[in-house]
């Protein structure tokens, strides 16, 4: 007879309601697996979509009518966000158990767990497209998105099983406070890819960030843009509190919620709206790149293609390939002390996750004491 040890996992039940659920503690299933214990968990900006608005029925209807893209059904299931589903896909964790073939990691080590599962060796992973790994399975293989995205569960859990652990788990560099990289699994890395490569190709370029939808991503992006030598960073958002954070990073923060100029070399659309997408594209300079980090669920999102043609503007959007860019991002944070924790507006006790995870705030981080001294 085997004894099943129960553990806790945070699950989304319906808009405004999350609860702890009991589940069997995960065990190693392959010699390449690891078990980790998350001790910091960030709330991804995208997780607020079903929590703060009852979108499940509307999405179900939208899928049936063909006005919501069918890929939403493949990722979230035919009834999107029907609870209870495990939630949470940003964490810093400590390693508690390693499969026999996992090299390069130690028990107690502090690691970032990327939101998407990847193997590290398939052709897609080799190209840096780790969030669309060939071997991970499904339309997306990820933590905290429910059963359509695999058996991985959420990261707000006692214990998490991580496959391909030697590749997946990226150690927090020595000297970097874990709180600083609480969102490195997803939102911090998403901001990095939206700004840093585009600015590297356009040194000293000007940057516009439309914030307020993907709340934390926009702020991280503004901070990264300033830290990477942008000539100007304009951060646009209706929230005075978020404008203050952006300003503290060195961005300009016009009071009116619209771009004060035209002709930005790099645009980050983090308002997460179709209108934001159009505003961002029309504010872009010839040869600019606009990266959109939100969810644009509709099949009929209007995009000003003729304007883009005339100005040679590139629209970039897609899942962020966090695992591929984590080494560069973490080394930057280690070297510069980039204060990403400034974006965290609420740090809550782990035990309070059910109420805290529903808080209307820019960036929530859950915290409990690590077991090891790190
Ligand atoms: Zn996310
Ligand atoms: Zn792969």
Closest ligand to the CA of 164 = 2
pLDDT tens-digit series, residues 276-294: 999 999 999 999 999 999 9
**How many whole angstroms separate alpha carbon 23 and alpha carbon 153?**
10
pLDDT tens-digit series, residues 160-203: 999 999 999 999 999 999 999 999 999 999 999 999 999 999 99
C-alpha 72 – ligand 1 centre gap (Å): 14
Q: What is the pLDDT of residue 262?
A: 83
Q: What is the pLDDT of residue 1?
A: 47
Task: Provide the token pair at 359.
Answer: 């808080």
Closest ligand to the CA of 47 = 1
Q: What is the mean pLDDT of residues 339-363?
A: 98
pLDDT tens-digit series, residues 127-163: 999 999 999 987 899 999 988 899 999 999 999 999 9
Instruction: Judge whether 183 and 90 are in contact, CB under 8 Å.
Output: yes
Q: Give domain 6-185+321-367's CATH superfamily.
A: Medium-chain alcohol dehydrogenases, catalytic domain (3.90.180.10)
In this model, does residue 349 exceed pLDDT 70?
Answer: yes
The number of beta carbons lying within 10 Å of the beta carbon of residue 120 is 16
Task: Report the predicted TM-score, pTM, of the whole model to 2 decimal places.
Answer: 0.96
Q: Which CATH code fits 187-317?
A: 3.40.50.720
C-alpha 258 – ligand 1 centre gap (Å): 26
C-alpha 2 – ligand 1 centre gap (Å): 36
The residues near 183 (Cβ < 8 Å, ≥ 6 apart) are 42, 44, 90, 216, 220, 340, 343, 363, 365
Closest ligand to the CA of 189 = 1
Q: What is the pLDDT of residue 79?
A: 87
Q: What is the mean pLDDT of residues 332-341?
A: 98
Q: What is the pLDDT of residue 374?
A: 61
Where do the domains of the chain lie?
A: 6-185+321-367, 187-317
In this model, does residue 37 exceed pLDDT 80?
Answer: yes
Equal CATH topology for 6-185+321-367 and 187-317: no
pLDDT tens-digit series, residues 199-250: 999 999 999 999 999 999 999 999 999 999 999 999 999 999 999 999 999 9
Q: What is the pLDDT of residue 4?
A: 61
In this model, does residue 2 exceed pLDDT 60?
Answer: no
pLDDT band at 3 (very low <50, low <70, confident <90, very high): low
Closest ligand to the CA of 117 = 2
Closest ligand to the CA of 320 = 1
C-alpha 365 – ligand 2 centre gap (Å): 29
Closest ligand to the CA of 184 = 1
- The residue written with tokens 């820019």 in the block is 362
C-alpha 46 – ligand 2 centre gap (Å): 24
């Amino acid at each position: 007879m085997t004894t099943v040890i129960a553990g806790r996992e945070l699950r989304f039940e319906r808009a405004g309601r999350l609860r702890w659920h009991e589940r069997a503690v995960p065990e190693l299933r392959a010699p390449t697996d690891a078990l980790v214990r998350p001790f910091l968990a960030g709330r991804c900006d995208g997780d607020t979509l079903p929590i703060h608005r009852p979108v499940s029925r509307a999405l179900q209807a939208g899928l049936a009518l063909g006005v919501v893209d069918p890929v939403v059904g493949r990722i979230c299931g035919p009834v999107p966000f029907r609870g209870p589903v495990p939630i949470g896909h940003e964490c810093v964790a400590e390693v508690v158990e390693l499969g026999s073939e996992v090299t390069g990691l130690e028990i107690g080590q502090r690691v970032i767990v990327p939101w998407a599962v990847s193997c590290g060796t398939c052709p897609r992973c080799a190209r840096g497209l780790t969030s669309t790994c060939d071997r991970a399975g499904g339309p997306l293989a990820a933590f905290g998105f429910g059963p359509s995205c695999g058996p991985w569960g959420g990261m707000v859990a006692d214990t998490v099983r991580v496959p391909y652990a030697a590749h997946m788990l990226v150690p927090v560099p020595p000297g970097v406070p874990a709180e600083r990289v609480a969102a490195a699994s997803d939102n911090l890395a998403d901001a990095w890819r939206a700004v840093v490569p585009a600015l590297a190709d356009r040194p000293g370029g000007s940057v516009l960030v439309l914030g307020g939808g993907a709340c934390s991503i926009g702020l991280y992006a503004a901070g990264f843009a300033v830290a990477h030598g942008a000539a100007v960073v304009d951060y646009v958002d209706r929230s005075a509190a978020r404008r203050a954070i952006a300003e503290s990073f060195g961005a300009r923060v016009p009071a009116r919620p619209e771009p004060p100029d035209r002709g930005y070399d790099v645009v980050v659309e983090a308002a997460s709206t179709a209108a934001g997408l159009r505003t961002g594209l029309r504010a872009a300079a010839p040869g600019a790149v606009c990266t959109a980090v939100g969810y644009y669920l509709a099949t009929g999102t209007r995009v000003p293609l003729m304007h883009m043609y005339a100005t040679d503007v590139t629209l970039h959007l897609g899942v962020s390939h966090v695992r591929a860019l984590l080494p560069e991002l973490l080394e930057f944070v280690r070297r510069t002390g980039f204060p990403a924790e400034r974006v965290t507006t609420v740090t809550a006790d782990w035990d309070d996750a059910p109420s805290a995870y529903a808080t209307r705030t820019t960036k929530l981080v859950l915290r409990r004491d690590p077991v090891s001294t790190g």
